[in-house]
Amino acid sequence: MTIDPAERLLNLIIALTHARVRMTRAQIRATVVGYEPADAHLAPDDVRRREAAFERMFERDKEELRRMGIPLRTVLDPTHGDAIGYKIDASDAAMPGIAFTSAEAAALALAAEYWQGATLGPDAHQGLTKIASTSSAAPRTPLTLGARASSTSDATATLVDARARRLAVAFDYTSASAGLSRRTVEPWQIILRAGAEYLYAFDRDRGEPRTFRLGRIHGSVTTVGKEGAYTIPRPLPKPSWGDTGAVHHAVVGLRPEAGHAIRRRGRALGTEGDWDLVEVQYRHADAIKDEVLALAGRARVMEPALIAQQVEREAAAALRVGEVPIDAESAGGGDRG
């Protein structure tokens, strides 16, 4: 007798929700519709085979429950510490009712588009189904708002799950400074920045928090050790993004109405010709240089002269490369060494 796995899972949820104290594995197997009960009349080999099949099925179902966000409580034997049964606390599990307006529900729906093709895609859809269950406004594809990230990572889901269980993780990582190395970290937070994902985590080997770009993780992320192995500091210290070091001042010229980011954090000094002068603080000369270059002529560095020269050097070099367009075929680089 095979039965729809959805039906079995639903029956399991109902049974565990109704369990007064707990249900043992044997009780689950014997009573929940969808599992094959033990049969004493079978040959010992068949008994063992069926036993193993039940164990596999039940482990898979526990994983599905976890994936759905259902807090399955494992009841432990007080003397031996063995798992002796399972239970779901309905009050602990319930989705809180949130009153979303139809405009808010529409905005929520963009999550499906944002994670399309990523490991969190199915989770976004499932989350929206949950929102629909307790809200009279259904999350539908928003017509006037969209969002897209192009560098979503396969590691996100694993990291989110590990973080929720306070499990440390290990992965191979390429950094600009250290090359490829194995990192063991305690995940604190996922940070989304300009369409890329980062993991903010405590690096056990380096003994301090670090930010990891998920796209630089090679291969798979594996969990290390036991659940509940660490606590996440509250509030989280601010990630550095490399912005430690002494503060310097630069003066940047901006075309009227260009460079809002610089204007917002800087101090207006007046005008010079067609340029609005703004004084800004910086820690890394490269940050100012890159920002001015990205404004493609709508900004210029007035001082310090060193950064102004760096800007000119980058632009002059880019011009040399840009003026000799080569076709895509010969740009391989690898076979011309």
Partner 1 sequence: MGTVAERTAPRVTRLLGLVTYLERAGEASIEELAEHFGVTSAQVRRDIELLWVSGVPGHAPQDLIDFDAWAFDEGVIRLTNSQGVGQVRLSPREGVALIGALSAVVAGGAAPQAAHTALAKLVDAVADKDAVRSVTTASVDPAVAATLRDAIECRVVVELDYADANDRRTSRVIEPHRIVVIDGMPYVECWCRRAGDYRTLRVDRIMSASMGTDAVTAPASETPGFSLVPKFEAVVAADAPARWLLESFPGVQLEEGDGVVTARFGVADVSAVAGQLLTIGTALRSVGPPPLARELARQARAVLAAQA
Binding residues for partner 1 restricted to 122-181, rule: CB under 8 A? 122-134, 136, 138, 140-141, 143-151, 156-157, 160-161, 163-164, 176
- For helices 285-294 and 305-322, the axis angle rounded to 10 degrees is 50
Q: How far apart are CA 65 and CA 59, in angstroms?
A: 10
Burial letters 41-55, b for 16+ CB under 10 A, else e: eeeeeeeeebeeebe
Of 2-10, 40-48, 76-84, 222-230: span binding partner 1 (CB under 8 A): 2-10
Instruction: Rule CB under 8 A: say whether 26 interacts with partner 1.
Output: no
Cβ distance to partner 1 smaller for residue 172 or 314: 314
Instruction: Rule CB under 8 A: say whether 39 interacts with partner 1.
Output: no
Residue length, the chain? Answer: 337
Tokens of 287: 């940050």
Instruction: Rule CB under 8 A: say whether 193 interacts with partner 1.
Output: yes
Total binding residues toward partner 1, as defined by CB under 8 A: 133
Output Rg (C-alpha) for the chain, integer angstroms: 28
Give the phi and the psi of residue 276 in degrees, each rounded to 5. -90, 130
Give the phi and the psi of residue 68 in degrees, each rounded to 5. -80, -10
Instruction: Rule CB under 8 A: say whether 282 interacts with partner 1.
Output: no
Instruction: Rule CB under 8 A: say whether 251 interacts with partner 1.
Output: no
Closest distance of CB 36 from partner 1, Å? 14
Residue 93-112 contact track with partner 1, rule CB under 8 A, x = bound: xxxxxxxxx-xxxxxx-xx-
Closest distance of CB 312 from partner 1, Å? 5
Of 12-20, 42-50, 77-85, 220-228: span binding partner 1 (CB under 8 A): 12-20
Hey, is 221 helix, strand or coil? strand
Instruction: Rule CB under 8 A: say whether 294 interacts with partner 1.
Output: yes
Of 58, 67, 60, 237, residue with least CA distance to 164: 67
- Which residues inside 300-329 make contact with partner 1, applying CB under 8 A? 300-301, 308, 311-319, 321-328
**What strands, in cross-sheet order, belong to the sheet with 275-282?**
267-272, 275-282, 248-254, 299-303
Closest distance of CB 28 from partner 1, Å? 9
Q: How far apart are CA 196 and CA 152, in angstroms?
A: 6
Closest distance of CB 289 from partner 1, Å? 7
Closest distance of CB 34 from partner 1, Å? 9
Instruction: Rule CB under 8 A: say whether 331 interacts with partner 1.
Output: yes
